[in-house]
Structure 1
Amino acid sequence: MKIDELYQLFLDCKAVNTDTRNVETNDMFFALSGENFNGNTFANEALQKGAKYAIIDDEDYRRSDKTILVSNTLKTLQKLATYHRQQLGLKIISLTGSNGKTTTKELINTVLSKKYKTTATIGNLNNHIGVPLTLLSMTNTTEIGIVEMGANHKKEIEFLCQIAQPDFGYITNFGKAHLEGFGGVEGVIQGKSELYDYLTSNNKTIFFNADDNIQKEKLSQYKNSKGYSQNNTDYYLINLLKANPFVNFKAENTTIQSNLIGDYNITNLSVATLIGKYFDVSINDIKAAIQDYVPTNNRSQIIKKDTNTIIMDAYNANPSSMEVALQNLNNQNEKNKIAILGDMFELGASADTEHQNIANLANHLNIDEVILIGENFIKTKTENNKVKQYRSFEDFKTHYKPITNSHVLIKGSRGMALERVLKLL
């Protein structure tokens, strides 16, 4: 079936779905397969649950005219998403980076929603499946789409750009994330910069951090770039006022108080403000949007529990984000500061060095107690009694002693699931 024919069927459906557990009446179900499962086997179940059509790529599972056979369901999903994006003709803002993608995406969405009908990536559905699903969730009422793009190897962002065809873009930063897949920090820079490469080659607009030397060097001569800075009046000026614990800043002589902790969040707040300004959102509406935004999903959340104040930042971690989180805890004017840290994944040959670096940093900062959890952290060498090491969460749980009247940072990679610590606290 040609993509334009499939598109007409799509327009008669309520939504696109790839998981039979979530199928609703009049959905279009795509039978995507993985390494350990054949998605075609779920097609009939999707139809029984109310799906209007099931898109399959194995003729053996064709049951009726409601099962649409294509050569490859994943490629068809991606082509349909691009076709839909072209038919809508709306503005697409894409963003990527090592840290802060989801928070930045949510801030941009919150700000632009003050003036426009927006559709943004849900959660972190930012890969070769999530990006098409985000595009297909947009409707003819959507005025601006905000698409988060994730990657763990080179050429991935380039591929996602071909699907989403963004008009605007932003890279949060270049950090030590997915070093195993990218082959080192230089690989991270090259891989993330594929977004800027796409935008410059198509004469599209780029937002950037003019205080980041890498970004400034790449973009200062590009005429369709819009930068922000904390000290250079050639760019949109943002002044960080304080971050103890919440970030307060000034833009256009307007003081804005956020609900985000850590001075590292100033860049996320700055670009949301800049993009709002670019799209003619008033500074008062930008202020209201940012001050109403409260982080969720274990991303820099402040949680009060009994006598403890918890910085819950356990959604994910890499050496760059771990370092700034520890520095933020160090800078807090609080008594009895505790860091509970879990292993960082996908670091490849750098894993031992990077975990030791974090252990060394935590040991030397003004933090009263450091708890290291995981197979990588258990191998690190420590210098004094304030550092405690556990091979696993279960090991930590077994030896856990009650923590009270403390300011506690919880951070680790997603696979460590350190949100479980909350139940102990």
Structure 2
Amino acid sequence: MTIEKLHQCFLAHPKVCTDTRKIEGDCLFFALKGDNFNGNRYAAEALRKGASFAVVDEDDYAISDRYIVVDDVLEALQQLATFHRDYSTARVIALTGSNGKTTTKELIRAVLSRKYRVIATLGNLNNHIGVPLTLLSIAEDTEIAIIEMGANHRKEIETLCKVARPDFGYITNFGKAHLEGFGGVKGVIKGKSELYDYLMASGKSIFMNADDPIQFKKLNGYINKFGFSMDKKDFFRMSFLGADPFVKIEVEGQAVTSQLIGSYNFTNCAAAILIGKFFNVPWEDIKNAIASYVPQNNRSQILNKNSHRIILDAYNANPTSMVAALETFKKMEGTPKIAFLGDMFELGETAGIEHQAIVDFAASMQFQDVFLIGENFARTDSHLRSFTAFEQLSEYLMKNPVPKNSNLLIKGSRGMALERILEIL
């Protein structure tokens, strides 16, 4: 079946499912393959559960006219997404970076939704499957689609750009994330910059942090760029008024206070404000959107539980975000301060060095206590409390409860699932 005909089928059944556990009635089921599964085997089940058609790439499974046979299901999904993106009149904003992608995406969504009909990547569905699924959620009345793009190796962003064909783009930053796949910080810069490379090659509009020396150098001489800055006169000026603990920004003589902690969230807010201004969202709407956005999903959340004030930032972690979180925690008022730090993943050969650097930095903070959790942290040289496995930490805390009225930082990679500490508290 051609992509044009598949798109006509999609328009008649505009829901896509890739998991038989989440089948919605009247959807198209795409039988994707993975290292340990073959979606073709579940196509019949998808149809029994209510899917209208199943897209497969093995003829043996196509036993009725409710099966659509393609050469490769993943490629068909991506091609369908690109075709639908071109069919739609929505403008596409792509977003990538080492840290802050999801928070920035949600802030941009909050701002633009004040004036436009907007869709955005759900959660962190930002890979070669998630990006097509997001594009296919563009409805007839969608005016702007915000597409988050994640990557852990070179050429991945380039591929996602070919699928999404963005009209605009923004890179949050270049940090020490996925060093194993990118081959070091220089690889991270090259990999994330693939978004700007794509946009520049096609003359598209680029949003930028003009105070980031990497972005400033990369885009020097490119005309179709729009940036924010704290001191450069040729860009939209914003001032960082502080974070005690919530980020406060001054724009054109007016202040806006967010519900986001940490100075690192200044640029996330600034990007959303810049993009709101670019799309002519009224200032009061921009201000209210920034002020009312509340972080969720274990991302820099401030919680109060059993007399404790908790910063829960357990969605992900890398050396750059770990240092930023510790610095923010240090500046916060109140004592005692206790930090729970979980392993950082995907650091490759640099894992030992980077974990030791975090241990040394955390020790210099002079908190009342620091708990290190995970095999990487357990191998570091430190006087701090260390636990190879979460269960060991749990057992320790059951016998040695955290002092009442403590200020706690919980930070670690997603695989560590440190939000479980809340149950112990």
Give unmatched runs, 5+ long, in structure 2: none
Question: CA offsets, 1:365-414, max 9 Å, x none?
Answer: 1422111000000111114xxx2111110111111121121111101011
Deviation, structure 1 residue 63: 2.2
Q: Which residue of 2 aligns with 1:395?
A: 392
Deviation, structure 1 residue 219: 1.1
- Residue type of the alignment partner of 1:17: C
TM-score, with normalisation over the residues of structure 1?
0.98
Task: Check conservation: 1:337, 1:367, Cα contact below 8 A.
Answer: yes
Q: Which residue of 1 aligns with 2:50?
A: 50
Q: Which residue of 1 aligns with 2:250?
A: 250
2:326 corresponds to 1:334: no
Q: Which residue of 1 aligns with 2:240?
A: 240
Q: 1:244 to 1:190 in 2, by over 3 A?
A: same
Q: Does 120-129 or 366-375 show the bigger shift?
A: 366-375
What is the rounded CA distance, in whole Å, between the counterparts of 1:351 and 1:228 in structure 2? 34
Deviation, structure 1 residue 306: 1.4
Task: Give secondary structure in 2 for the equivalent of 1:85.
Answer: helix
Task: Check conservation: 1:299, 1:313, Cα contact below 8 A.
Answer: yes
Task: Check conservation: 2:121, 2:147, Cα contact below 8 A.
Answer: yes
What is the rounded CA distance, in whole Å, between the counterparts of 2:15 and 2:117 in structure 1? 18
Q: Which residue of 2 aligns with 1:416?
A: 416
Please list, as runs of the form range in 1=range in 2, the aligned pairs for 1:275-424 lying within 5 A after superposition.
275-383=275-383, 387-400=384-397, 401-403=400-402, 404-424=404-424
Task: Give secondary structure in 2 for the equivalent of 1:303.
Answer: strand
Task: Give secondary structure in 1 for the equivalent of 2:8.
Answer: helix
Q: Which residue of 2 aligns with 1:70?
A: 70
2:270 corresponds to 1:270: yes
Any runs of at least 4 consecutive aligned residues in structure 1 with deviations exceeding 6 A, and if so which?
A: none
2:157 corresponds to 1:157: yes
Q: Which residue of 2 aligns with 1:122?
A: 122
Task: Give secondary structure in 1 for the equivalent of 2:214.
Answer: helix
What is the rounded CA distance, in whole Å, between the counterparts of 2:364 and 2:158 in structure 1? 40
Q: Which residue of 1 aligns with 2:32?
A: 32
What is the rounded CA distance, in whole Å, between the counterparts of 1:192 and 1:215 in structure 2? 11
Task: Give secondary structure in 2 for the equivalent of 1:106.
Answer: helix
What is the rounded CA distance, in whole Å, between the counterparts of 1:339 and 1:34 in structure 2? 38
What is the rounded CA distance, in whole Å, between the counterparts of 1:380 and 1:258 in structure 2? 37
What is the rounded CA distance, in whole Å, between the counterparts of 2:174 and 2:242 in structure 1? 24
What is the rounded CA distance, in whole Å, between the counterparts of 1:24 and 1:156 in structure 2? 30
Q: Which residue of 2 aligns with 1:109?
A: 109
Deviation, structure 1 residue 262: 0.3
- Residue type of the alignment partner of 1:405: N
Task: Check conservation: 1:254, 1:283, Cα contact below 8 A.
Answer: no
Deviation, structure 1 residue 292: 1.3
What is the rounded CA distance, in whole Å, between the counterparts of 1:176 and 1:24 in structure 2? 39
Question: CA offsets, 1:307-345, max 9 Å, x none?
Answer: 101100000000000010000001112111111000000
Q: Does 361-370 or 95-104 show the bigger shift?
A: 361-370
Task: Check conservation: 1:378, 1:390, Cα contact below 8 A.
Answer: yes
What is the rounded CA distance, in whole Å, between the counterparts of 1:309 and 1:330 in structure 2? 14
What is the rounded CA distance, in whole Å, between the counterparts of 2:410 and 2:423 in structure 1? 12
- Residue type of the alignment partner of 1:276: G
Q: Which residue of 1 aligns with 2:12?
A: 12
Task: Give secondary structure in 1 for the equivalent of 2:238.
Answer: strand
Give unmatched runs, 5+ long, in structure 1: none
Task: Give secondary structure in 2 for the equivalent of 1:122.
Answer: coil
Question: CA offsets, 1:101-128, max 9 Å, x none?
Answer: 0000000000000000001000000000
- Residue type of the alignment partner of 1:349: E
Task: Check conservation: 1:318, 1:344, Cα contact below 8 A.
Answer: yes
- The CA RMSD measured in Å over matched residues stands at 0.8
Task: Check conservation: 1:135, 1:164, Cα contact below 8 A.
Answer: yes
- Residue type of the alignment partner of 1:393: F
What is the rounded CA distance, in whole Å, between the counterparts of 1:181 and 1:106 in structure 2? 26
Question: CA offsets, 1:245-275, max 9 Å, x none?
Answer: 1111111222111010001100000000000
Deviation, structure 1 residue 297: 0.2
Task: Check conservation: 1:211, 1:230, Cα contact below 8 A.
Answer: yes
Task: Check conservation: 1:179, 1:348, Cα contact below 8 A.
Answer: yes
Deviation, structure 1 residue 279: 0.1
Task: Check conservation: 2:171, 2:192, Cα contact below 8 A.
Answer: yes
- Residue type of the alignment partner of 1:402: P
- Residue type of the alignment partner of 1:27: C
Task: Check conservation: 2:157, 2:191, Cα contact below 8 A.
Answer: yes
Task: Check conservation: 1:329, 1:367, Cα contact below 8 A.
Answer: no
Question: CA offsets, 1:203-235, max 9 Å, x none?
Answer: 000011111101001113210011101122321
Q: Which residue of 2 aligns with 1:228?
A: 228
Identity %: 57
What is the rounded CA distance, in whole Å, between the counterparts of 1:225 and 1:118 in structure 2? 22
